[in-house]
Chains A and B, each alone.
Chain A
Amino acid sequence: AQKITQTQPGMFVQEKEAVTLDCTYDTSDPSYGLFWYKQPSSGEMIFLIYQGSYDQQNATEGRYSLNFQKARKSANLVISASQLGDSAMYFCAMREGGISSGSARQLTFGSGTQLTVLP
């Protein structure tokens, strides 16, 4: 079974509008972390935001916020006030195991969502 599912291969949003990119995950580990990365056309992977399974509040980083619904096993990325520079591929990823596991745990990635911001 897919551990990370991104059901939107492509999304379009008008500049200055908000957009939500969907991510659902599957794990039986009570401790896990969810990550979002951005990959522009230049190819580099850029870390955006992190949500831990025990975090009480949804994570926010500037215009990025994570709509974390634990019971639904979803971790959707919300981008507010979209900009042309937000056009990119966005990946959701999960690391199973708690923070005390340190950095040993690898990430499992979804297949990505290609976001296009329209002027």
Chain B
Amino acid sequence: DAGITQSPRHKVTETGTPVTLRCHQTENHRYMYWYRQDPGHGLRLIHYSYGVKDTDKGEVSDGYSVSRSKTEDFLLTLESATSSQTSVYFCAISVSTSGSPIYEQYFGPGTRLTVT
């Protein structure tokens, strides 16, 4: 258990409304990521963070913004939700286990977002 929680777990919202998803980790990991998962596409990176207030864009960042004011929280905001943003959103952290130099990513439980 990598100690990652996401909230909300499910949300239905209307087109044009702002939405914020929260990712919370309890173990002080530096790197955090937001992915979206859509059928036929696997997971695609939206944004990632390499420290407090340090973020960068991923492959599908248009229409999304992020913020990280504390190490433990990484927020994903849809400024004006569109139907194309209906998806499952996963937060991830990068973890080295058992002293290994390999940094696998551990994922949160996901947030299912529906934009009507």
Contacts and interface: CB of A to CB of B under 8 A. Distances in A.
Interface residues of B, number: 30
27 contacts: A33-B102, A43-B88, A44-B107, A44-B110, A45-B90, A45-B92, A45-B107, A50-B102, A50-B104, A91-B43, A93-B42, A93-B43, A102-B94, A103-B29, A103-B30, A103-B96, A103-B103, A106-B33, A107-B45, A107-B105, A108-B59, A109-B35, A109-B43, A110-B42, A111-B41, A111-B42, A112-B42
Given A43-B109, A109-B44, A52 B102 contact: yes
B42 A91 contact: yes
Main secondary structure of the interface of B (DSSP, over half): strand
A104 interface: yes
B36 to A, nearest CB: 11
Contacts of A33: 102
B88 A106 contact: no
A45 B35 CA distance: 12
Contacts of B44: 109
Nearest to B109: A44
A106 B42 contact: no
A107 B38 CA distance: 16
Interface of B: 29-31, 33, 35, 40-45, 48, 50, 58-59, 88, 90, 92, 94-96, 101-107, 109-110
Interface in A84-119: 91, 93, 95, 99, 102-104, 106-112
A106 B58 contact: yes
Contacts of B106: 47
A27 to B, nearest CB: 15
